[in-house]
Chain A
Amino acid sequence: MNPFVDAIFDPALFATLLRVMTPLLLAALGVMISDRAGVLNIGMEGMMLVGALTGVLVSAWSGSAWFGLFGAIAVCGAIGCLFAVVVNNLGAHLIITGIALNVAAAAGTTLGLFFATGDKGMSGALKSGVLPNVKLPGIDAIPVLGTILSGHHILTYVALIAVPLVSMMMARTPFGLHIRAVGVDPKSAATAGIPVARVQMTALALSGICGGLAGAYLSMGYVSWFAQDMTAGRGFIAIAIEVMGMGTAWGALAASVVIAIAETLAITMQSLGLPNELMQMIPYVVPIVVLTFWSSRKLRLAKLAA
């Protein structure tokens, strides 16, 4: 077989794809839930940072990576609730609140890291846990398929399972209906007796939980430490993925696969000696191109219909 085909069927490449996709998918699902409830969570980047730091700190203190994970989920879920209170009860501007969350998280996680370790840059001194990889029983034993499907990080599986779950929640449950109704028109939803503020708060809490999972994956799976600004704009890519996925869970999965392929190619091409920085640009340029293409198509169709 030629080397290109070999590379595609190389399980290591597929594993890289899943590795880079996991945080993006989790974060994009979180952004999606908030967006559909009409409270787009621009603060996802900040939530991921907080989740990553909380995971490391709690797991180092408790000695268990699982406590770290739950800590990250709890703290980010609480931030989601706070976000909702600030937007709905204080009446602050939605986007500004998200930006403020990002600014506060970038500064706050640096402070937190400093007070925990005395170092501003990295948590290398802390002995923090790592969440395990999972071997799927049964599938693991199948020759080729087993190495491709089994043995990935537990949060990778969580992310993949979350896609149908979130999709079902949005489409088939009363709560999902409430979210969508609130997102389309909060006033009509309120007239119909839906508690708008509570639905938005729950949506933002769920969004925060997704952000916490994504952050915990970064610091307890992708790598095993926390570094200043380690999210590197992934929260913003997640927003782009959500828009590319047109607000559905399956769309978010498809879009995050596209971005993850771009990023995997970038990582592979780096090893071929192409300039690292230019390759790093790719996952940030792809959303711009795709969004422009789709928006222009929608515009053209709207013009044809008119």
Chain B
Amino acid sequence: MKRELLTGLVQLAVTVAVVVVVVLLILVPFALSQAEPMAVLSGFLLGPFSSLRHVGNIAEVATPIVLTGLAATVIFRSGLFNLGMEGSFFLGGLSATAAALLLPLPDFAAPLLAVTAGAVVGSLACVIPGYLRLRYDAPEMVTSLVLNYAILFAGVFVLNYFLRDPAAGALLSYKLPADARLERLLAGTRLNSGAIIAVVACIAGGIWLYRTRSGLNLRIIGLSRGFSDHLGLPFTRLVMSAQLAGGLIAGMAGAIEVLGLYPRFSWTQLPGLGWTGIIVAILARENPFLIIPAALFLGYLQVGADFLSRGIGIPVEVAGVVTAAIMLAMTATAIFQHPSLLRLIRNLRQKEALAP
């Protein structure tokens, strides 16, 4: 037990060190190119902690990407490179809006039913590429990439022809009924009950993946198809249920995002939080328990960028560049499987084994 903890700590330390170096490598030259370098650095790095409201903002930004990160984790663990999370997220938000506006939902259960509708319809974006892969051997990565855009335009069509509020001016849906919206947790922020769902989902996902038989089976299938076939595991059924689970989670994330944050549905572009989910999953090493800190960290970067954009007028996209660099560094085997690091870990384990 102890040696596991120790090696885990070494890996965590390396991860944190790499992230810090990457953030500084990008931020410092960027800050120096601006008029007030110190203001940029301190605004970005310290701004998010300057008040309780900003800390609440971090949690608010982290909520959807915890869920899309969990969706990406479940799907990647099955061994398919299905990138439908982005489409599921969009479709989930749209379908929850449609359910809240068009269906006669009973008041007390409206949020629950709308989120369920979002999850179920949203899951299609992950289920279809998965099904086409398993049934017809169509490459899931390519089909999921283009399907995301097909879904986007279908969604804008539905928004424009069925949900659009003609009085709103821009392309916006009707106002979401107050009963269907999620409850706010912290005054002054948009932190809502979706955050609780996200945390519970992550813990449940972690327990499922590491403590149940079907979770173990899924991990085996993702690691080695051949071995799983030798064990006689039902490949198609398990992989398909992983796509379904991932799609449901990503769809739910979209529904929670819309019902929790916005008075109306307004997405006419892919919101990009499905992609961020992939980054979260990679940062968390596809471990559901680590998703929450990973998402909080990306949320922190986002809030820092927001802080900059409000204070100094630098666009929030700074966060995007930093996140992309972190994404690269996290998969760099030259760092994380460097011989000296592996040797260090092995030595730690051996010392532990020699001790009485």
Give A contacts to B, CB under 8 Å.
42, 86, 89-93, 95-97, 99-104, 106-108, 110-111, 114, 120, 229, 232-233, 236-237, 239-240, 243, 275, 277-278, 280-281, 284-285, 287-288, 291-292, 295-296, 298-299
Contacts and interface: CB of A to CB of B under 8 A. Distances in A.
B282 A277 contact: no
B231 interface: no
B223 interface: no
Interface stretch (B113-121, B155-163, B289-297): B155-163
B327 A277 contact: no
Contacts of B161: 275
A120 B315 contact: yes
Contacts of A288: 132, 138, 143, 146-147, 150
Contacts of B52: none
Interface string B306-333: 0000000011011111011101110111
Contact of B331 (A92, A120, A236, A237): A92
B332 to A, nearest CB: 4
Interface in B114-139: 132, 135-139
Given A97-B331, A240-B146, A285-B150, A291 B324 contact: no
Contacts of A236: 142, 145-146, 148-149
A169 B97 CA distance: 52
A29 B147 CA distance: 22
Contacts of A120: 315
A106 B276 CA distance: 13
**Chain A binding site: helix, strand, loop or mixed by DSSP?**
helix
Nearest to A291: B138
Given A91-B334, A110-B317, A295 B327 contact: no
Given A236-B145, A236-B149, 17 more contacts: A96-B282, A100-B327, A102-B275, A103-B320, A103-B324, A104-B320, A106-B317, A107-B319, A108-B317, A240-B142, A240-B145, A284-B149, A291-B139, A291-B143, A292-B132, A292-B143, A295-B138
A237 B146 contact: yes
Contacts of B150: 281, 284-285, 288
A298 B139 CA distance: 12
8 contacts: A89-B334, A90-B332, A90-B333, A107-B320, A108-B321, A111-B317, A237-B146, A284-B153
A90 B335 CA distance: 7
Contact of B145 (A229, A239, A278, A298): A239
B144 to A, nearest CB: 9
Given A90-B335, A236-B145, A100 B325 contact: yes
Contacts of A111: 315, 317-318, 321
Given A92-B333, A114-B315, A295-B137, A278 B142 contact: no
A106 B317 CA distance: 8
Interface string B158-192: 00110000000000000000000000000000000
Given A92-B332, A239-B145, A299 B137 contact: yes
A164 B154 CA distance: 37
Contacts of A101: 324
B160 to A, nearest CB: 6
A275 to B, nearest CB: 6
Contacts of B135: 296
Residue from the set B81, B153, B156, B272 with the largest chain A CB neighbour count within 10 Å: B153
B214 interface: no
A233 B145 CA distance: 9
A236 B144 CA distance: 10
A126 B318 CA distance: 22
Contacts of B337: 91
Nearest to A233: B149
Nearest to B34: A115
Given A90-B332, A96-B327, A284-B147, A107 B141 contact: no
Contacts of A104: 320-321, 324-325
Given A243-B139, A243-B142, A281-B153, A107 B275 contact: no
Contacts of A108: 317, 320-321
A96 B328 contact: yes
B251 to A, nearest CB: 19
Contacts of B70: none
Looking at A86, A100, A236, the one whose CB has the most chain B CB atoms below 10 A away is A100
A296 B137 contact: yes
Given A111-B315, A239-B145, A100 B333 contact: no
A99 B275 contact: yes
A97 B328 CA distance: 6
